[in-house]
Amino acid sequence: MDIIITGLLLGGTYALIAFGLNLQYGVARIMNLANGEFLVLGALAAFWIFVADSISPVLTMLIVAPLSFFGNWVIYKLLLRPLVRRAKNQGQLEVDSILATFGMSFALVGIMVSMHGEYFTYSYLAEPFEIVGETFALNRIVAFCFAVLIGGALWLWLYYTRPGMAMRAVSVSTEASGLVGIDVPRLSALAFALGGAVTTMGGTLISTFITLDASVGVIFTMKALIIIIMGGVGDIRGAIVAALILGLVETTVARLIDPGLTLAAAYAIFVLVLLFRPQGLFGRKPT
């Protein structure tokens, strides 16, 4: 029981890391290697505001989300849209966006290093919380609840609203959805901006229980990539399931076998899933 709850909490953290990139890559087709830096930016904001004024990271999250949305929207319009327009096919767009966002991640790390080169670490809700006689960290539980809220809201929006449906259509096929009158460029910008905002929100929450620094973003980008690929590109259910599987596997291995093998086991599961389902858990067969 203890393992299951700890694993779910960790899975929630992973879901927070992966939601944003899933929208950016699944819908807007941008393999955003600077995604982790936006997560770290959220963490940095939470840390700064907390240390300066003891303002709760949850409040910070509500402040930075629209800022990040706007920032990512501008980045998409100014820097990425030209790449989309000049790319002749998906392959070329992938190469171009890898190169461009790689540069962006460098630039963002450079900016953050000059702002705060030390570790971002503070204590927020680092208190015990009891569930069925076992003790868990309150900040992780809060983050998990927000992961559920954010994931739930995204799911409702994608599956029960018109723009959400259009978004899913774009993720299936950009050409076909263009033909049926969906404004693909606008929706892509929206998806990219929304993805960035969600990632930044995740960063503010994660900073309450993981110690980060300015250069750590790439680790989160890689984790997010692994999760969305394991779940199947563009499918939010896949990302959630994959995140929870990873969280449960890591915790189980840590408690029952050896903590030294947690990450290795998580990657092994990822490798196995792809060996048996080359398109991810919920992915569609490539056409």
Q: Nearest to residue 23, comparing CAs of 115, 154, 217?
A: 154
Cβ closest to another protein, residue 86 vs residue 159? 86
Contact 22, 195 (CB under 8 A): yes
Cβ closest to another protein, residue 106 vs residue 159? 106
Cβ closest to another protein, residue 157 vs residue 255? 255
Nearest-5° Cα angle at 116, 108 to 220? 50
Cβ closest to another protein, residue 63 vs residue 79? 79
Instruction: Quote the least distance from Cβ 181 to another protein, whole Å.
Output: 28
Instruction: Quote the least distance from Cβ 206 to another protein, whole Å.
Output: 9
Instruction: Quote the least distance from Cβ 239 to another protein, whole Å.
Output: 13
Which residues contact residue 260 at a Cβ distance below 8 angstroms, ignoring those fewer than 6 apart? Answer: none
Instruction: Quote the least distance from Cβ 138 to another protein, whole Å.
Output: 8
Instruction: Quote the least distance from Cβ 100 to another protein, whole Å.
Output: 5
Cβ closest to another protein, residue 66 vs residue 110? 110
